[in-house]
Chains A and B, each alone.
Chain A
Amino acid sequence: MTKTILTVDDSRTMREMLRIALADAGFNVVQAEDGIHGLEVLENVSPDAIITDINMPRMDGFGFIESVRGHETHRALPILVLTTESDDQKKDRARRAGATGWIVKPFNPTKLVDAIRRVTA
């Protein structure tokens, strides 16, 4: 069955890249522009995994992950954090917020699909 991936990123460029890379890999892609929007999308969509950015207006990635983890039906969803940060602090914070894993930008489609495979059945 086709897997649905929700991507949350405020950058249009990033959204486009994610959309194309994921669609090419055969995923069904749903997109949101920030954490709040992401939560709104989750009201109607049940993705197989989420890919989220950290730095976003309105609700950042940490807040978003935490909200998803507190959500009744979505709390077990694998969440991958997109990060340009290489320092362990940021990753540690993502981890503490409940992220499943991370993808370091810049990513290529292989890396992206690889990471999704690692967290989805």
Chain B
Amino acid sequence: MDPMAAIKQTFFQECDEQLAELESGLIKIDEGDRDPETVNAVFRAVHSIKGGASAFGFEDLVEFVHVFETTLDLLRSNRIEATQQVAACFLRSSDILADLVAGAREGTAVNTDEVTAAKAELQALCQQAGGEGDGDGFGTSEESFTDLAFQPISISIDSIFGELEEIEQQTYHYIIKFKPRPALYAKGNESLLLLRELGALGSLRVECNTDEAPFLDDLDPEGAYFSWTAYLETKDDAKASIQSVFEFVEFDCDLSIAEADDASFDPPPAVEAEPAVVHEVEAFLAAAPELALAPEPAPSQPQVASEQKKAEAPSGQPQATIRVDLERVDRLINLVGELVINQAVLSQRVTEAGLSRASSVMMALDELEQLTRDIQDSVMAIRAQPVKPIFQRMSRVVREVAAITKKSVRLVTEGETTEVDKTVVERLTDPLTHMIRNAVDHGIESAERRIAAGKPEEGTLKLTATHRSGRVVIEVSDDGAGIDRQRVRQIAVNKRLIASDAQLTDDEIDNLIFAPGFSTTETASAISGRGVGMDVVKRAVQALGGRISISSRPGQGSTFSMSLPLTLAVLDGMVVTISDQTFVIPLTAIVETMQPKKESVHLIGSGTRLIRSRDAFIPLIDVGAVLHSRPSLADPTTQVALLAESESGGRCALLVDEIQGQRQVVIKSLEANYGRVFGIAAGTILGDGRVALIIDVDGIINSLRVETEAAENLNIAAE
């Protein structure tokens, strides 16, 4: 990769980190944290983004960051008080900053109105503070950047345009008197180098005044005794260039630069025939080496020291990390998966060989099993990431929705360090965003209604993550009005999701909001009405092998609870037999099992069978027939039916011969090793060493739908 592109990537990665840092710092400030280090960290985050952004020429970004930084600087110097309003303004700005960063990364346009508004807000803060950020203070930065850039050195150009110059031969003469003070050397500057720079500007003669040099006994090795008079002849006006040569040292020396007319310009004769000034100076230096070598700098100034101590506030050792290609980690996880399978195979073989459990082989094998499990856990932990970044993103969602709905909502997060598989974290953003939007929009009541209900005006949204029995549970709870069951029920009846006389428990009514097609157009607003309902959330969570449920108490709020697997590399499955073949069906897809009775199975048309389950007819699918592992349809009464639900909410009953049990299996991609097979999601290897295929419940249900539709179309055509 082109190095600049690679750095740009680093820059954006870093921006994400800095933005997270910025936001968490601002939230702390919002909550009343007055630790100067928090403000410093926030400032640094913005400052770092600015540094990188200007290097890559993201002008819009730089412009905004500059205003932001200037304002934060006022906060840092206590010229702005960190009130909640100020913190809120900064938080809004950090959102805009995130947008601008995203815009710069994707090359997309950013809503300029929002940027301008945020900028104006920041500038207003500055003006209140009467700080340097008033009006033109912002504009000047760009100019001063160029002011401070080093002046180009003119020699090369001279030689290119040499002929032109000769026609109009004009020369400039300068006499530069330069007397360093000890401080110049103490800061690591060097007279020789300055004279060398001067020499690069034109033709130079230098006279060294050694009059002040004391006798050796009186000589302070860190003193400054020499001064120089330099006669410079240039072809261009070089005053600015000369000044820039002394830019670093102008306060540590006596310096005079005078333009001289031809008459007064009287350089000393060259000491050597060679005109190169460097040689001249060096020749002189060679004559008095012990004096001329860079004097040792003076000891540092003690008064600066005390001032500096504060800046060194310890912030703890940063955690040592390495960046590893995700592919390598996945390869390792894969290999460990193989190891686990192999270990299971070995252990089954040993058992089959008839060794007693107390035998030394079995005992060693037990240890191996323990070890394998530990390795597996450790490897999975590599892919595990804290939910913190996504939780942080949610605080922005809350702010935005609260602003639109004009509600005052505080987000409280807990368990941010809880770790989940990287992919799970990534794919959690959308459903979680939707849930949060929903909670603020529908869950939390308006301020008036809250006050009327005797609740604090500010609503509280709680986002928590915890580990619970090998899964991660993420909960979103609000202290709002809870689910309006009567209304939900009415909507469900109107949309024909339930019969008007259906007897439902409170819980069942609450869970109706996850039903496909429930998405309430009636309540749809600018925020949650983006064409997705809670059924989409449910589907997304199920796609991750998770489950979602809701509990609600009228007047006290609702809690959405998501239970997610720690990793996507293993899966809880139901091991079943279908015509002597072993298959695995993901447990998350299975709702219940049942024993079909003859009278509950109905045949419709040619080969389509339905099974009656709780007043509903569900397509009965003979998995064996669908996968062509048996020639004809099996007799349902000799079989077991698994009521399964697809991610899109479709239901069907899967007919299998026998249930062997539940087991955690390591998922092996079939596509990567063989190819795509209809009805099969992946493969796994069981303890007996045999391959078992994992059934793609979604695929089967969807194909069924297509078939039915095709059949329906055919019927219509026939009519």
Contacts and interface: CB of A to CB of B under 8 A. Distances in A.
Interface in A70-121: 70, 75-79, 84, 86-87, 92, 95-102, 104-107, 111, 114-115, 118-121
Interface string B13-33: 110000000000000000000
Nearest to B13: A12
Which secondary structure characterizes the binding site on chain B? helix
Interface string B22-66: 000000000000000000110110011011101101000000000
A75 B14 CA distance: 33
A70 B14 contact: no
A86 B144 contact: yes
B197 interface: yes
A56 interface: yes
Given A11-B14, A77-B188, A57 B54 contact: no
B188 A105 contact: no
Given A55-B43, A101-B247, A69 B297 contact: yes
Nearest to A49: B188
B305 A58 contact: no
A73 B47 CA distance: 32
A111 B150 contact: yes
A70 B300 contact: yes
Interface in B542-557: none
Interface stretch (B123-131, B306-314, B358-366, B692-700): B306-314
B193 interface: yes
B324 to A, nearest CB: 16
Interface stretch (B3-11, B483-491, B570-578, B615-623): B3-11
A60 B144 CA distance: 24
B311 A10 contact: no
Given A13-B14, A104-B148, A84 B248 contact: no
Interface string B141-164: 100110111100000000000000
B251 interface: yes
Contacts of A30: none
B47 A75 contact: no
Given A63-B311, A76-B294, A11 B248 contact: no
B319 interface: no
Contacts of B192: 121
A61 B537 CA distance: 49
A111 B251 CA distance: 22
A105 B150 contact: no
Interface string B163-189: 000000000000000000000011111
A86 B189 contact: no
Nearest to A37: B318
Nearest to B54: A106
B55 A106 contact: yes
B188 A115 contact: no
B207 interface: no
A116 to B, nearest CB: 11
B299 interface: yes
Given A12-B10, A13-B7, A14-B51, A63 B44 contact: no
Contacts of A119: 188-190, 193, 248
Contact of B311 (A53, A62, A79): A62
Contacts of A12: 10, 13-14
A14 B48 CA distance: 9
Nearest to B244: A118
A59 interface: yes
A76 to B, nearest CB: 5
B304 interface: yes
A59 B315 CA distance: 9
Interface of B: 3, 6-7, 10-11, 13-14, 40-41, 43-44, 47-48, 50-52, 54-55, 57, 132, 140-141, 144-145, 147-150, 185-190, 192-194, 197, 245, 247-248, 251-252, 294, 296-297, 299-301, 304-305, 308, 311-312, 314-315, 318
Q: Top 3 closest A-B pairs, CB basis?
A: A86-B144, A101-B248, A13-B11
7 contacts: A11-B51, A53-B51, A63-B308, A75-B300, A86-B148, A106-B145, A111-B149
Given A12-B14, A59-B311, A104-B145, 10 more contacts: A11-B14, A33-B318, A58-B314, A75-B186, A84-B50, A95-B187, A98-B304, A104-B148, A105-B51, A118-B193
